[in-house]
Amino acid sequence: MSDIYPLGLKVTGRLVVVVGGGPVAARRVRSLVEARARVRLVAPHSVLAESGMPVASETPEPTDGPGPAEVEWVRRDYRAGDLDGAWLVHTATGSAAVDRQVSDDAERARVFCVTAGDASVGSAWVPAVARTTLTDDAEVTVSVTAGRDPRRARAVRDAVAAQLQSGRLPLRRHRPKLPDGGLGRVWLVGGGPGDTGLITARGRSVLAQADVVIVDRLGPRALLDELSPDVEIVDVGKTSGNHPVPQHEINALLIQHAQAGSDVVRLKGGDPYVLGRGGEELSACRAAGIEVEVVPGVTSAVSVPAAAGIPVTHRGVARGFSVLTGHDGAAEVPGGADHTLVLLMGVTRLADTAEALVTADRPADTPAAVIEDGYGPGQRVTVGTLATIADRAAEVGVKPPAVIVVGAVVRLSPAWPHQAR
Residues with a known catalytic role: 216, 238
Q: Are strands 367-372 and 380-385 parallel, antiparallel or unpaired?
A: antiparallel
Q: Are strands 15-19 and 38-42 parallel, antiparallel or unpaired?
A: parallel
Distance CA 116, CA 95 (A): 10
Quickly list H helices, 86-125.
96-108
Q: Which among 140, 186, 190, 198 is positioned nearest to 165, based on CA atoms?
A: 140
DSSP for 24-37, please give it: HHHHHHHHHHHTT-
Q: Is 258 exposed, middle or buried (0-12, 13-18, 19+ CB in 10 A)?
A: buried
Q: Are strands 55-56 and 38-42 parallel, antiparallel or unpaired?
A: unpaired
Let me know how long the chain is.
421
Q: Which among 271, 279, 278 is positioned nearest to 297, based on CA atoms?
A: 271
Q: Which among 203, 205, 209 is positioned nearest to 172, based on CA atoms?
A: 209
Element (H, E) at 233: strand 232-235
Residues near 2 by beta carbon (within 8 Å), at least 6 away in sequence: none
Residues near 331 by beta carbon (within 8 Å), at least 6 away in sequence: 353, 356, 357, 359
Element (H, E) at 235: strand 232-235
